[in-house]
């Protein structure tokens, strides 16, 4: 903000304590004209030997890249199901790196910026058309040309990149007037604008400031100071040598980690490493920033051999300003970050410890920030995407061109016609059932004492013919009484007669 980070360009900002460090300095032109990191040095030329040591972007085979794009498209098209049931797979794919063509869209889904945009339609346009607070507009204007000055979006004063950056930052001061503007927000917003339009970048910035890094950009910078103590405590477990050295030199964490965390390493690492770190950061949350910071400290100050050139406070700070390019190389850094065993539970436990220490020594926090959410999974559970209302689908499909009856109450004639139609249908159905059931044939019983005639003898079942189904046990007695000519004796005499004939 104006009072905060006062004139980073002249090194007078108290929170940084990096005297002489220019906010606009650092970096060299890398692949695709992107700024490769701030190494704490002035702009470097092609003859500068450090430029040749900068790591190149990791080359991904075209076939592999196309496969990853296909997988990411499948995930993005069914994002809610993947986030609910296969979040671990999303995390693994973020660790491998999001395809460049889908990175901006994936960041919106991961951060919840897309959901925010759906929940607040037209809000950014409303903020964009508002005049804004004059006390912030002047500060924002002065910072525009300092953000990635070698990138084609921001190279020209008044260009579309700087205009969009101004719109996004101004809109945030209106959206959160209690926070206003902090200079560390400008590079974060600039990176977002490289991957998405202004409105989407604004909502992603809102998510970063409210969900991923709450309180980082408040007036007193209390949240970043607390995280500095958490980082230092975790360093004791990760690299006791580096922890002991920094304690001996009495170097406060706020002196070296402020810019790392508040800018999400966008002004520290090579560009390819920045993108890979942001891919994991949007998926897994602030623990990625802690891991990156611990890896840099461990490999810069984590051995007695490395400390030979860092005998004093000044030499130690110079080492942390001019980090070795090898430890910032994309493949090395990402693998170290993935393997470092620092979890959300450890961070939250350490946060409670440092918060109690803060209250014992400094009293209550002046700015009560909302709770921090660790990554895309926690954000999607806290702010689920709005569900679409179910639309009724017709159960009867009419042929094309059929005119539907007019809606509204039916007349008396229509009701009477429907009743007559229903009666006609019932009568027709009843008539059809009567035709399908033929009347039973009645045969006159033979006179007593007469045997079966020739026709009856022909119809009687013989040994080679198929027998009729047996009657039920309960009906056997009744049949014997009603039909005396079909008793066992008559059947036996009939069989003997057939045999004889």
In this structure, the answer to whether residues 294 and 203 fall within a common structural domain is no
Segment 201-243, tens digit of pLDDT: 999 999 999 999 999 998 888 999 999 999 999 999 999 999 9
Residue at 76 is within a domain: yes
Q: Can you spell out the DSSP letters for 166-202?
A: HHHHHHHHHH-TTT---TTHHHHHHHHHTTS-HHHHH
Q: What percent of the chain is modeled with pLDDT above 90? A: 53
CB 83 within 8 A of CB 90: yes
The structure tokens listed for 360 are 């014992």
- pLDDT at position 30: 34
In this structure, the answer to whether residues 268 and 295 fall within a common structural domain is yes
Residues of the chain with pLDDT under 70: 1-58, 387-398, 401-410, 436-501
Residue at 132 is within a domain: yes
- pLDDT at position 376: 93
- pLDDT at position 58: 62
Task: Show which of 366, 392, 426 is a domain's final residue.
Answer: 366
For residue 107, the domain's CATH number is 1.10.8.270
Residue at 45 is within a domain: no
Q: Which domain covers residue 176, as residue numbers?
A: 66-215
CA torsion through residues 102, 118, 161, 134, sign: negative
Task: Give the span between the Cα atoms of 181 and 191, in whole angstroms.
Answer: 17
Tell me how many domains the chain contains.
2
- pLDDT at position 246: 94
- pLDDT at position 40: 34
Q: Can you spell out the DSSP letters for 34-76?
A: -B----SSPPP-TT-HHHHHSPPPPP--HHHHHHHHHHHHHHH
For residue 265, the domain's CATH number is 1.10.472.80
The pTM for the full model equals 0.68
Residue at 451 is within a domain: no
- pLDDT at position 314: 92
Q: Which residues contact 385 (CB under 8 A, 6 or more apart)?
A: 79, 80, 114, 115, 118
- pLDDT at position 390: 58
- pLDDT at position 308: 87
Task: Show which of 339, 366, 393 is a domain's final residue.
Answer: 366
Q: CA of 428: how far to CAs of 218, 417, 418, in Å?
A: 82, 16, 15
- pLDDT at position 5: 42
In this structure, the answer to whether residues 193 and 229 fall within a common structural domain is no
The structure tokens listed for 278 are 């942001």
The structure tokens listed for 206 are 């809102």
């Amino acid at each position: 903000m104006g009072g905060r980070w006062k004139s980073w360009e002249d090194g007078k900002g108290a929170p940084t304590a990096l005297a002489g460090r220019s906010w606009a300095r650092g970096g060299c032109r890398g692949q695709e004209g992107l700024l490769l990191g701030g190494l704490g040095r002035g702009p470097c030329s092609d003859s500068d030997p450090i430029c040749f040591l900068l790591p190149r972007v990791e080359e991904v085979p075209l076939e592999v890249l196309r496969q990853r794009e296909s997988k990411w498209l499948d995930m993005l098209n069914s994002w809610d199901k993947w986030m609910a049931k296969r979040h671990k797979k999303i995390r693994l794919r973020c660790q491998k790196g999001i395809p460049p063509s889908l990175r901006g869209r994936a960041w919106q889904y991961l951060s919840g910026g897309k959901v925010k945009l759906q929940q607040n339609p037209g809000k950014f346009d409303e903020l964009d058309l508002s005049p804004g607070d004059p006390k912030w507009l002047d500060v924002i204007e002065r910072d525009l040309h300092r953000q990635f000055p070698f990138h084609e979006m921001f190279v020209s004063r008044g260009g579309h990149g700087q205009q969009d950056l101004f719109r996004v930052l101004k809109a945030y001061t209106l959206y959160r007037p209690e926070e206003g503007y902090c200079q560390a927000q400008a590079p974060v917003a600039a990176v977002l604008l490289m991957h998405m339009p202004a409105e989407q970048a604004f909502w992603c910035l809102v998510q970063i400031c409210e969900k991923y890094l709450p309180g980082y950009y408040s007036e007193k910078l209390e949240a970043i100071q607390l995280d500095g103590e958490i980082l230092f405590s975790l360093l004791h477990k990760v690299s006791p040598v580096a922890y002991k050295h920094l304690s001996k030199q009495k170097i406060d964490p706020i002196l070296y980690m402020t810019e790392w965390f508040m800018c999400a390493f966008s002004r520290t690492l090579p560009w390819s490493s920045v993108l890979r770190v942001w891919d994991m950061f949007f998926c897994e949350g602030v623990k990625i920033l802690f891991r990156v910071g611990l890896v840099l400290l461990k490999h810069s100050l984590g051995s007695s051999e490395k400390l030979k050139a860092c005998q004093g406070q000044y030499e130690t700070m110079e080492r942390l300003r001019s980090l070795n390019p090898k430890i910032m190389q994309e493949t090395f850094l990402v693998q170290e970050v993935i393997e470092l065993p620092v979890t959300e539970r450890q961070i939250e436990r350490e946060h409670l410890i440092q918060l109690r220490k803060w209250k014992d020594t400094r009293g209550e926090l002046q700015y009560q920030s909302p709770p921090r959410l660790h990554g895309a999974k926690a954000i999607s559970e806290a702010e689920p995407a709005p569900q679409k209302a179910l639309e009724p689908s017709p159960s009867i499909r009419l042929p094309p061109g059929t005119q539907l009856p007019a809606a509204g109450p039916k007349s008396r004639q229509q009701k009477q016609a429907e009743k007559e139609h229903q009666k006609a249908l019932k009568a027709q159905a009843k008539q059809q059932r009567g035709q399908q059931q033929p009347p039973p044939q009645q045969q006159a019983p033979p006179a007593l004492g007469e045997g079966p005639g020739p026709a009856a003898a022909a119809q009687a079942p013989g040994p080679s013919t198929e027998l009729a189904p047996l009657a039920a046990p309960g009906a056997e007695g009744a049949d014997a009484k009603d039909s005396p000519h079909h008793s066992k004796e008559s059947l036996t005499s009939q069989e003997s007669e057939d045999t004889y004939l």
